[in-house]
Structure 1
Amino acid sequence: MRLATYNVEWFDDLFSDRGELLIDEHWSGRRDITRADQAEALGMVFTAMDADAVMIIEAPDTGTRRDTRRALRNFASAFDLRTREVLVGFVNDTHQEIALLYDPDKMRVQHVPGRSDRAPRFDGAFRIDLDFDDTEDVVAFSKPPLEVELTTAGGRVLRLIGAHLKSKAPHGAKGEDQIMRTSIANRRKQLTEAMWLRRRVDALLEQGESVIVMGDLNDGPGLDEYEALFGHSSVEILLGEGDGALYDPHAAQALRGKLRPHPSTARFYIAPEKRYLQALLDYVMVSRDLREVAREWRIWHPFEDAHCWQAPELCAALLTASDHFPVTLDLAV
């Protein structure tokens, strides 16, 4: 079984209110890329991945007139994808949903939001004194994670959690002081979201579940100077320690040291500096029991993955489709 996580930038812009895929020459949400170019590039990437299920981060919106399921079913139909059914959990007001696009012939899935004494349901509120200043932080997810019970054709049950943690970028802030305050506030919220998610993982592990956390965590060890204020990254919080530790080989590689080469899953253009920034933001973390059946993690990076590099059309499609690249995991289940 192949599982994937993929953050698709401005996916919602490719659909009408009726969920029709807009393959035309109007601009997409991506810079200098038409809707036809982005849609066709995504079709090529999804076809090449050939995953049994894709956790889509920044999936098309669900609202008063728009529907994530309808849009993604139309997308799958347009490119004859076998991942043709859609699961959505708690919707949000950011126009960026989290959705699982999956092959119903290979699995049964359902949204199973859970809670415990230490972790409320993901559509609730989480209370914690994050920095020990005797002030309680109250946090709600702007994009509640999607908690999935997946049953394979062979009867194996997996618990998937699709997540899109708070961005640390100081969007809208001006001036050094405001940028610093906003960055620290965003970091605080992101770490709280990670703690909440980790507590839910702990509860599932205590119940004997096989757990996979996948998505865009907007973070990685050593990515910015504000990490030192809190002592660790949200990725380290989610990975955990001891018998309950989760594992992702790309995260493990990044944790070995700042001066070592790191893999990357995203590529952003920095206009003032006229260059591209690469970062490791997307992960597929598995519980200890699944490491025995994990066969291969792969970042579909057009420049770093040899198979992608040897397929020029796929390289171009990956660069056109999104500013993130898919991450896949093959499991022998």
Structure 2
Amino acid sequence: MRLATYNIEWFAYLFDKNDRLMLDAKPSGVHGVDRYTQGRAIAHVLQRLDADAIMIVEAPNTGRTQRTTRALEAFAAEAGLRACEAVSGYPTDTHQEIALLYDPDVLDAVHDARSSAAAPRFDGAFEIDLDVDERLDKVEFSKPPLELAVTTKGGTPLRMIGAHLKSKAPHGARSKDEVTAVSIANRRKQLAQAIWLHRRVEEHVAAGEHVVVIGDLNDGPGLDEFEKLFGQSSVEIVMGSLLNDPHAQSLKQPRATALPSTSRFYNPETKRYFGALLDYVMISHSLMGLRPQWRIWHPFEDAECIGDDEMRMALLNASDHFPVTLDLDLA
């Protein structure tokens, strides 16, 4: 079985208010790329991944007249994908939903949100003292994680959680002091979301369930200087001692020489591109015996993608993130 996560940059821009696909010469959400080119690029990448299930981060919008699942299923039909059915969770007001595209001949997936005293439902509020002032702060997800009960056609149950944690980027800050203050506040909120998510993982593992946490965590060990203030990245908090992802774990090793990355952004000040490891497929220890194989489909780091001009350009035109896949001996 192949599982994938793919943050598709502003996928919503390719659909009108009635979820009709717009492939034309108008700008997409990808800088310098029109909607026709981005749409064709996304289709090409998803065809090549040929995954049994793809967690789409920044999926098309659900709103007054729009439905994420309708848009994704129409796109899958247009692209000829066998992962042709979609499931989503709580809608957001960000036009960036979380949804799973999957092959119904391989697995079934249903939205199955949970709640407990330690970890309330993800569309609710989580109370935690963020700034150690002995007062509880209320934290919410702008994009509530998608909790899924997945059953393979062979009868194996999985708990899958699709996540898109808060960005640490200091959007709206103008001065250096504002950048620092907003960055620290955003990291506090992101770490609280990570604690909330980890508590849910703890509950599933304690119940003896297979767990997959998959998506864009907007963080990684050693990613920025503000991590030193808090001791851990949100990725390390989510994983704890219960989950495995070799890309995340490699960054914790001393003297790492080749750092993996799943995204590529442009810095207009330095006029250079930089990469970051933001996207993960984490699995519980119970799945480690199924010969897991992780792969980042990076256009300049994956040998097959480097040697395939069409695939390399499709990856660059589709999004500023690149897909991550996990292959398991699971039926």
Q: Does 1:320 align with 2:279?
A: no
1:299-318 map, 5 Å: 299-318=296-315
Q: Does structure 2 conserve the Cα–Cα contact (< 8 Å) formed by 1:116 and 1:203?
A: no
Aligned pair partner of 2:286 in 285, 289, 304: 289
Equivalent position SS for 1:64: coil
Please tell me the root mean square deviation across aligned C-alpha atoms, in Å. Answer: 1.0
Q: What is the distance in 2 between the residues matched to 1:29 and 1:240?
A: 35
Query: 1:131, CA displacement in angstroms?
Result: 4.0
In structure 2, relative to structure 1, the CA distance for the partners of 1:258 and 1:232 (3 Å cut) is farther
Q: Give 2:114's aligned residue.
A: 114
Q: Give 1:49's aligned residue.
A: 49
Query: 1:132, CA displacement in angstroms?
Result: 2.7
Q: Does structure 2 conserve the Cα–Cα contact (< 8 Å) formed by 1:222 and 1:258?
A: no
Q: What is the distance in 2 between the residues matched to 1:70 and 1:189?
A: 32
Aligned pair partner of 2:247 in 237, 245, 250: 250
Q: Does structure 2 conserve the Cα–Cα contact (< 8 Å) formed by 1:169 and 1:186?
A: yes
Q: What is the distance in 1 between the residues matched to 2:186 and 2:130?
A: 13
Equivalent position SS for 1:273: coil
Query: 1:57, CA displacement in angstroms?
Result: 0.3
Equivalent position SS for 2:258: coil
In structure 2, relative to structure 1, the CA distance for the partners of 1:269 and 1:258 (3 Å cut) is farther
Task: Flag as ranges the 4+ runs of structure 1 deviating above 6 A.
Answer: none
Q: Give 1:188's aligned residue.
A: 188
Query: 1:73, CA displacement in angstroms?
Result: 1.0
Q: What is the distance in 1 between the residues matched to 2:311 and 2:256?
A: 30
- The aligned length equals 330
1:64-83 map, 5 Å: 64-83=64-83
CA deviation map 1:91-138 (0-9, x unaligned)? 111100000011111111111100122100101100011343312121
Q: Does structure 2 conserve the Cα–Cα contact (< 8 Å) formed by 1:294 and 1:329?
A: no
1:123-162 map, 5 Å: 123-162=123-162
Q: What is the distance in 2 between the residues matched to 1:184 and 1:51?
A: 37
Equivalent position SS for 2:243: coil
Query: 1:183, CA displacement in angstroms?
Result: 0.3
Q: What is the distance in 1 between the residues matched to 2:112 and 2:292?
A: 27
Q: Give 2:177's aligned residue.
A: 177
Q: Does structure 1 conserve the Cα–Cα contact (< 8 Å) formed by 2:167 and 2:190?
A: yes
Query: 1:277, CA displacement in angstroms?
Result: 1.0
The percentage of counterpart residues that share the same residue type is 57
Q: Which amino acid aligns with 1:306?
A: A
Q: What is the distance in 1 between the residues matched to 2:317 and 2:34?
A: 10
Q: Which amino acid aligns with 2:173?
A: A
Query: 1:69, CA displacement in angstroms?
Result: 1.1
TM-score normalised to structure 1 length: 0.97
Q: Does structure 1 conserve the Cα–Cα contact (< 8 Å) formed by 2:130 and 2:189?
A: no
Q: Does structure 1 conserve the Cα–Cα contact (< 8 Å) formed by 2:250 and 2:256?
A: no
CA deviation map 1:60-106 (0-9, x unaligned)? 00001211111111110111111111101111111000000111111
Q: What is the distance in 2 between the residues matched to 1:117 and 1:65?
A: 35
Q: What is the distance in 1 between the residues matched to 2:162 and 2:115?
A: 16
Equivalent position SS for 2:294: strand
1:70-109 map, 5 Å: 70-109=70-109
CA deviation map 1:147-172 (0-9, x unaligned)? 01110010000110000000000011
Q: What is the distance in 2 between the residues matched to 1:321 and 1:307?
A: 18
Q: Does 1:240 align with 2:249?
A: no
Q: Does structure 1 conserve the Cα–Cα contact (< 8 Å) formed by 2:214 and 2:281?
A: yes
Query: 1:258, CA displacement in angstroms?
Result: 6.5
Equivalent position SS for 1:272: coil
Q: What is the distance in 1 between the residues matched to 2:32 and 2:225?
A: 32
Q: Which moved more, 1:149-158 or 1:127-136?
A: 127-136
Q: Does structure 2 conserve the Cα–Cα contact (< 8 Å) formed by 1:10 and 1:30?
A: yes
Q: Which amino acid aligns with 1:183?
A: S
CA deviation map 1:27-82 (0-9, x unaligned)? 11111100000000001000000000000000000001211111111110111111
